[in-house]
Amino acid sequence: MKMAMSKLEQKKVKIELDTSELNAQQIRLVKSINHMLAHVLTTDDECDYFDGSSDLMKMVASAVKQANFTSYWSENSNIPYAQQALEFSVDALAEQVGTDDIVEYDN
């Protein structure tokens, strides 16, 4: 008779990420985003759901601000790329929030 694995063990997904072009702060941020995303997706506490969602969005915004793109292009430009990217993202997010559609990403 096979021993039943716990639900958590059955549902684990190993995610590999090439961090060769990330600095230590970016790596910590990716880990934090991953942890918070899992927390938001599984919590049954209303406060954790709302606060966690807000924290998750703030972490993602921080990741966009710390993206290597901004350092590559900021040396020769006064364009605030990170701010523009976040404004563009917020506009797209606002459109998504206003609909009942759920975007599905299938691999």
What is the spatial distance between Cα 81 and Cα 74, in angstroms, rounded to a whole number?
8
9: three-class secondary structure by DSSP: helix
Q: What is the pLDDT of residue 87?
A: 97
Q: How do the pLDDT tens digits run along the chain, 107 residues long?
A: 344 555 555 678 888 999 999 999 999 999 999 999 999 999 999 999 999 999 999 999 999 999 999 888 777 678 889 999 999 999 999 988 888 777 777 65
Report in angstroms the alpha-carbon separations of 52 from 9, 33, 46, 58, 85.
24, 10, 10, 10, 23
What is the spatial distance between Cα 101 and Cα 2, in angstroms, rounded to a whole number?
41
Q: What is the pLDDT of residues 79-96, one digit of tens each?
A: 889 999 999 999 999 988
Q: What is the pLDDT of residue 1?
A: 39
Q: What is the pLDDT of residue 27?
A: 96
Token pair in block for residue 14: 């190993």
